[in-house]
Each structure stands twice: as C-alpha cells, then as structure tokens.
Amino acid sequence: MKLLIKGGRIVDPANKRDEAGDILLEGARISKVAKNIRCAGAKIIDAKGKVVMPGLVDMHVHLRQPGLEDKETVATGTQAALKGGVTSVLAMPNTTPTIDCPESAELLKKIVQKSAKASVYICGAITEGRRGGKLTEISQLKAKGVIAISDDGASVDSDQLFLKAFKEAKRHKLLLICHSEDKALSRGGVVNLGFVSTRMGLRGISSESEYKRLQRDINLAQKAGAAVHIAHVSCKESVEIIRRAKEKGLQVTAETAPHYFALTEEEVVGFDTNMKMNPPLRSRADLEAVKKGLKCGIIDLIASDHAPHTENEKDIEFDRAAFGTIGLETELAVSITELVHMKILSWPELVRKLALNPAKILGIDKGTLGLGCDADLVIVSPEEEWIVNKEDIVSKSKNSAFLGKKLKGKVEYTICGGKIAYC
C-alpha cells in the first residue's frame, strides 16, 4: 500500500528539513521525500496548511499492563498514544508483577505483540519489586529486549547500591532513568510546599526532596562514568543542577512533562485530584525555569508521564487520591500551545524534544523522516483549537489535568508503520 502526503510543512530536524513538500510511504517505510511527488495508485492525504512531523517518541508512559488493567492496557494506552500523535512509547516497569525479571519482561512482550497498536519499548526495573533492596539481573532483562531501566515512582535510597546500578547499566549499555525523589524529605506530601499547601492545609512536597536527590543521582552517575537520564524535572533548582552538570560535560539528559510547563500549583486550589501528581505542580517561577530549560537545551525532551488511574482512585479525598495525570492524548497539543505558539520553541526544536531526542537517547531508530525509515508520522493542524473533553478521551482512565482546557494544535492523522492509525 502506498500513501502520499501532499503539500504539508515537513519538519524533520534529523534531516535538517523544514519546508513544504510531499512524502511517499510504501509499505512500512518512507520511500521518497520531495516536492511534487506523483505516484499512480497511491492514496493521497492533502496536508496543505498542516505540519508533517515524525511520530512522537514518549519515553515515560505507564501502560499498566500486566496486572493493572482496570487503569489501562497496552491496547488502550497505545490507542490513546496514536490519538495524541505518539507512535513509540517506553513502558514503565511499575506493573504487577514488576518488570524486574526475564519472565515478567517476556509476559509484557507477549502482550505487546498481541495487542499494541504503536511501537512499545520496555523499561525494566533497577531493583527487585522497585523496593531499592536488590538489583535486578540487568543482562537477562536486556536479553529479553529491555532498553532502559528505572525504578520510576521510587528512588534507590542506598548510595552504594545505586552506584552499583550505574556501573551495571554502563556495562550492559542500558540507559538508567532516575525518579529523583528523597521520600524522607517529601514524606507524605501531596502538593507543592508553599503558599498553596498552607492555604489548603495540605502536606507539602519541597523542591528540596527532588533536587537534592537529583544532585546525588548525577554525582553517582559521574562516579560510575555512566550516563543518566533524569525523569520529570519540575523545579528551578533541578534545572540549574542539570545545567551545571551539562556544562561540566557529564552524560546527563533530562525530561520534563507538559504539566510542568503548562500548569502551576494554583490549579490545585479547588482540590481537583487530577492536578495531584508526583512531582507536584510547582510555582510560577519553577514553570518559567522549566520553559527556559527547554528553550536553551538544558532539558532535552518532553515525555508525558502518562499515569492513568481509575475514578475510584482519583475521585476521593485529596490526601488519599492517586498521583498522576494521563498525558498521551494532550502532550503534543499542550506543547504546541505553550511552547510553539508562545515562541519558546520553533517547530524543529519541538520535534527534537518530542521525537528525535528521546529516540537518540533510547538508541532507537525513530524520530526521523529519512528515506527508508519507519513510516511513523503525524499530521497536525497547528492553529486548530479544541477543548479537552472527558467524553473524547480514549485512554481507559480519564484523569487528565487538562480537562476543560482549550488547546491550540490538533492531530489530524497519525500514521504508524505506513498505515493510517488515527484520523
């Protein structure tokens, strides 16, 4: 099957392309990128006035399978991804069972083969059960196709053990992703520590609990000579620490999530539990620092930290509600709204943050529209406005922090493996 996308603005920083043109897809590959392609028998998509870019690579997604299928499944999660223009995801290991041994990695792989609608890569755990006590068998995980390791949601408290983890990750050439949080400092907190936590009488999570642990994580990585990727950067001090580490030439990469540059702690004031996440929504100053970090390259990429939870876990007392927001369906639109339209990032820069950089960091062959590459791409109406409605959400869980918000920039088509997967 041939698919010809005509007249769109092709944004493909991997090939230094940002101009109007046509793309021909044959089978699952990109076969031609040029002006005025003619091809008999191809199905034509008119992309005039639209932006055509590589499918998004989201390296922080909780698909919840195996074990937590009431929240999300590989099938529903990847369907949601496609709606949001995401064609590749890295699935986090905090499932039941945890992806901490070859057997559970194999189990997830089978589920993915059977039901995934987009490319799913697997992230294994650093420690058994993510309990921070004993390292997993990293080589065995790698043999089962795991491409990164993380204890996401938890941080290994023992310096000694974590140093060993970095050394192992380096030895087996696996990326180590840090959830940098010192739970002794964030103890029981549910919102950012500050005026909002005071006003609402909620226990606060200090920025300190994030950046102190983040500094330690970078120090340990440096000691091990290993690369480190920092997940969900939320506060200004973290941005500054990463800046200094990069200046020193350390192998540090960092991600943030759309809610950290689009929303502040003020959103929590009505006790809306969809605004409860970890790390918490921070202050205006933190938001500005995150934006600046994205602009000047301190923060390499944007990932959704898609964290689905059922209504039973969300629509309850704020203290007891689960942390997290879904994000696959909104990350591209929120990024366009807050970063491109607000002139923080250009379109090519945006594509780097959402597709090219995560692909490079994960070492996967995605995020580009080069000849012969996987035909994963998104066609976006950059000016179209839409409102995030609960009814329209395809993820199994509806806990979006962006419900009711107006966004500018809408996915028109998502093409995955050469096929129209969403339109």
Partner 1 sequence: MVAWQKKDLLGLENLTAEEIELILSTAESFKEVTTREIKKVPALRGKTVVNLFYEPSTRTRVSFEVAAKRLSADVINIATETSSVKKGETLIDTGKNIQALKADILVVRHSASGACVTLARHLGISVINAGDGWHEHPTQALLDIFTLKEKLGKIKGLKVSIVGDIAHSRVARSNIWGLSKLGAQVTVCAPKMLIPPGIEKMGAGVTCNIDQALKDADAVNVLRMQFERDEGEAFPNQLEYFKQFGITTERLKSLKKNIVVMHPGPLNRGIEISSEVADGANSVILEQVTNGIAVRMAVLYLVSGATTK
Query: Using CB under 8 A as the criterion, which residues of the chain lie in contact with partner 1 when the complex forms?
Result: 187, 193-202, 204, 270-271, 312, 315-320
Give the residue from 421, 369, 418 showing the smallest Cα distance to 3.
418
Cβ atoms 286, 193 nearer than 8 A? no
Helix 208-224 with 159-171: angle, nearest 10 deg: 50
Q: What is the dihedral sign for C-alpha 43, 47, 53, 56?
A: negative
Q: Which is nearer to partner 1, 270 or 363 (CB)?
A: 270
Task: Find the shortest distance in angstroms from Cβ 317 to partner 1.
Answer: 4
Asked if 12 is an active-site residue, the reply is no
Provide the 8-state DSSP code for 269. Answer: G
CA distance 47 to 381: 9
Task: Find the shortest distance in angstroms from Cβ 162 to partner 1.
Answer: 24
Q: Which one of 300, 305, 374, 376 is the catalytic residue? A: 305
Residues in the chain: 423
Task: Find the shortest distance in angstroms from Cβ 192 to partner 1.
Answer: 10
DSSP secondary structure letters along 179-247: ----HHHHTT--EETTHHHHHHT--EE-THHHHHHHHHHHHHHHHHT--EEE----SHHHHHHHHHHHH
Q: Which is nearer to partner 1, 196 or 227 (CB)?
A: 196
Q: Which is nearer to partner 1, 197 or 264 (CB)?
A: 197
Structure tokens at 338: 């807050």
CA distance 260 to 49: 30
Q: Which is nearer to partner 1, 46 or 319 (CB)?
A: 319
Task: Find the shortest distance in angstroms from Cβ 271 to partner 1.
Answer: 4
Task: Find the shortest distance in angstroms from Cβ 328 to partner 1.
Answer: 27
Q: Which is nearer to partner 1, 43 or 199 (CB)?
A: 199
Reduced to 3 states (helix: H, G, I; strand: E, B; else coil), residue 299 is coil
Catalytic residues: 305
